[in-house]
Amino acid sequence: MAGPLDGIRIVDMSSMLSGPWAADILGDQGADVIKVEPPGRGDHVRSLPNRSGGMPSMFVNVNRSKRSVTIDLKSTEGVELLLKLVETADVVVQNFRPGVVDRLGVGYEATRAVNPRIVYLSISGFGEHGPYADRRVYDPIVQALSGLTTVQAGSDTERPRLVRTILPDKLSAVTASQAVTAALLARERTGEGQHVRLSMLDTVVAFLWASDMGAYTFMDQPVEPEKAASFIDLIYETADGYMTVATMSDAEWRSFCLAVDREDMITDPRFATPAARDLNVNERLAFIQERLRTKTAAEWLQILPGYDVPCAPALRRVDLISHPQVQASQIIIETEHPVAGRLRQARTPARFEGTVPSPPRGAPRTGQHNVEVLTEIGLSAADIAALAESGAIGSEHIAGEQDLATAV
């Protein structure tokens, strides 16, 4: 596939979301991503609901632009095969619990022994040390431990609340993809690969520190319990729906007051300065809410931009697809999958003018590329047939079996 990472081969041993989506991002940017799955069942995500043609939507969305091989990593032949594949690769991605890959014989040291230039990415829940290191982890666990749920609640005294999307998993995937490209750049300069370790907990804490941990930044200043945030979370009711409005600067506050025919509020001492508006945040937001209820969302979305006031509708997911800005930006693309049918997905968000990526390939069927990939790394038809017979690789996919029969 064309793209800035064309020529880079990634062996993706990961499952669920964080590792697979990290590899997916790199595949969308041109890398050749080979997804290694257990024979017979594949990635657990393949068993999830919301399916078309037997392909779950989540699998389709985080495993596109990949090829699938099925290798039994609990067998000696399977491990040997995986290491042979690593010899041809630039990157390995795995998100097993700490220690598992070493016990299997496919950890960093084992892969480095056959390919010293390998960039090996390990994603974990809590890191490799500490009392939580060996525990099973899912997204809500990291949200709770990182403090994200109390940030979402608005204060330390309110009931903690989850962010209603799997943010730690997704953020770890994005962070991981950036870390891999940084390590590949370092390899170009030094000639050496390296082990890159990333935990979901590390990722979310760093994410929060940018803006939500300000009170804990200066160590010589006392820390008070986080106070309750404003009672309105910047989603306002209008006469017929919901929208958001932001008035951060003096100019935006003045413009909003003019737009709603309340010029007197510009010089009101409670709102005349940024500090005063912050001190009187509930009164300020209550005023905004009162004014927005007087017209429909569509009316305000016509009026407020004319005064250069930042605003937007609070769209439902079903409305997002047809919104004029989304359509004009061509964010949503449509493709045809040979099994799942017509797909609607988000395009690669970074747009490269000099190394334009090819359109994303549809997510693979389980073991779809066993013959293709193993032939590329030098195995004969007889070798592949013997591995399938021993169970070291899978032959569960009908097309794969037909290809194998033809190759033999």
- Model pLDDT for residues 130-171, shown as the tens digit of each residue: 999 999 999 999 999 999 999 999 888 899 999 999 999 999
* Whether residue 185 is found in the same domain as residue 296: no
**Cβ burial, residue 88 (10 Å; 0-12/13-18/19+):** middle
Range of the domain at 385: 9-208+330-407
CATH number, residue 271: 3.30.1540.10
CATH number, residue 126: 3.40.50.10540
Number of domains in the chain: 2
* Whether residue 193 is found in the same domain as residue 54: yes
* Whether residue 279 is found in the same domain as residue 341: no
- Model pLDDT for residues 195-237, shown as the tens digit of each residue: 999 999 999 999 999 999 988 999 999 988 877 777 788 999 9
* Whether residue 117 is found in the same domain as residue 264: no
How far is residue 183 from each of residues 138, 153, 192, measured CA to CA in Å? 27, 37, 9
Check residue 225 and give its pLDDT.
81
222-226, 324-328, 348-352: lowest mean pLDDT where?
222-226
Q: Can you give the pTM of this predicted structure?
A: 0.93
Question: Where on the phi/psi map is residue 252: left (φ > 0), alpha (ψ -120 to 50), or beta?
Answer: alpha
Query: CA–CA separation, 121 vs 3, rounded Å?
Result: 21
Check residue 399 and give its pLDDT.
38
6 pLDDT above the threshold of 50: yes
Cα 307 to chain centroid distance, Å, stands at 36
400 pLDDT above the threshold of 70: no
Query: CA–CA separation, 184 vs 126, rounded Å?
Result: 25
384 pLDDT above the threshold of 70: yes
- Model pLDDT for residues 32-69, shown as the tens digit of each residue: 999 999 999 999 999 999 999 999 999 999 999 999 99
Q: What's the 3-state SS for 55-103? A: EEHHHHHHCCCEEEEEECCCCHHHHHHHHHHHHCCCEEEECCCCCHHHH
